[in-house]
């Protein structure tokens, strides 16, 4: 099934080269970097990307943690839809591939002009957000359980 974002990209009023472009990437290439100002969101068309975060363990130790992998059809970078905003994570290519890079402000204006498509797009984005939130909650629960086991919390109960 074609995504609502594909439908928007195919609309002649949403011009390639102005509102969006194809972005090719190679394995190990950094697509976005945590903390940099982002103005675009991405729809992966081919390849696999890894979302990572930066964690400081103490004054001298830092760690790049893997959060999840994204494949064809995945969207990321959507926090820039209404205004440029700092990237929350780093995204690195695992394999060669390409994505559609969409200007957030152009998409926002387009969705205001076509509210029916806007509704469908935001509904789709909401579903993605809920799915990510559920996965994050599960990870937190597993980490908490692991921490309790490691610290042998049962001896305190």
User: In sequence order, which residues have a C-beta less than 8 Å from that of residue 43 and are 6 or more positions away?
Assistant: 3, 5, 6, 9, 73, 74, 75, 99, 100, 102
Share of the chain above pLDDT 70, in %: 94
Alpha-carbon dihedral sign for residues 137, 138, 143, 149: positive
Q: Which residue has the tokens 């559609």?
A: 100
Residue 112 half-sphere exposure, CB side, CA atoms within 13 Å? 8
Region 106-135: mean pLDDT is 93
Q: Is the pLDDT of residue 133 over 80?
A: yes
Residue ranges of the domains in the chain?
4-113
Look at residue 154 in the predicted model and tell me its pLDDT: 67
In this predicted structure, the answer to whether residue 15 has a pLDDT above a threshold of 90 is: yes
R_g (Cα) of the chain, nearest Å: 18
Question: pLDDT confidence of 145, banded at 50, 70, 90?
Answer: confident
**31-44 pLDDT, tens digit each:** 999 999 999 999 99
Burial zone of 108 (CB within 10 Å; 0-12 exposed, 13-18 middle, 19+ buried): middle
Bigger pLDDT: 48 or 136?
48
Task: Evaluate if residue 156 carries a pLDDT over 70.
Answer: no
Helices (H), the chain: 4-10, 104-113, 115-150
Cα–Cα distance between 42 and 103 in angstroms, integer? 9
Residues sharing a CB contact under 8 Å with residue 124, sequence separation 6 or more, in sequence order: 3, 4, 5
Rama region for 4: left / alpha / beta (φ>0; ψ in -120 to 50; rest): alpha
**pTM of structure:** 0.82
Sheet holding 97-103, edge to edge: 20-25, 97-103, 40-46, 75-76
CATH-assigned architecture of domain 4-113: Sandwich (2.60)
Average pLDDT of the segment spanning 73-77: 93
CB 25 within 8 A of CB 46: no
């Amino acid at each position: 099934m074609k995504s609502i974002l594909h439908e928007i990209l195919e609309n002649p009023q949403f011009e390639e080269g102005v509102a969006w472009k194809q972005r090719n990437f190679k394995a190990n290439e950094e697509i976005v970097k945590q903390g940099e100002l982002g103005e675009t969101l991405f729809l992966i068309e081919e390849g696999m990307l890894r979302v990572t975060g930066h964690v400081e363990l103490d004054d001298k130790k830092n760690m790049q943690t893997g959060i999840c992998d994204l494949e064809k059809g995945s969207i990321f970078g959507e926090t820039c839809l209404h205004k440029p905003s700092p990237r929350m994570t780093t995204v690195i290519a695992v394999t060669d591939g390409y994505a559609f890079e969409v200007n957030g402000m152009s998409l926002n204006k387009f969705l205001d002009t076509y509210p029916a498509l806007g509704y469908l797009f935001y509904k789709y984005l909401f579903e993605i957000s809920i799915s990510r939130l559920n996965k994050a909650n599960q990870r937190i629960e597993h980490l908490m359980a692991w921490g309790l086991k490691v610290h042998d919390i049962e001896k305190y109960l």
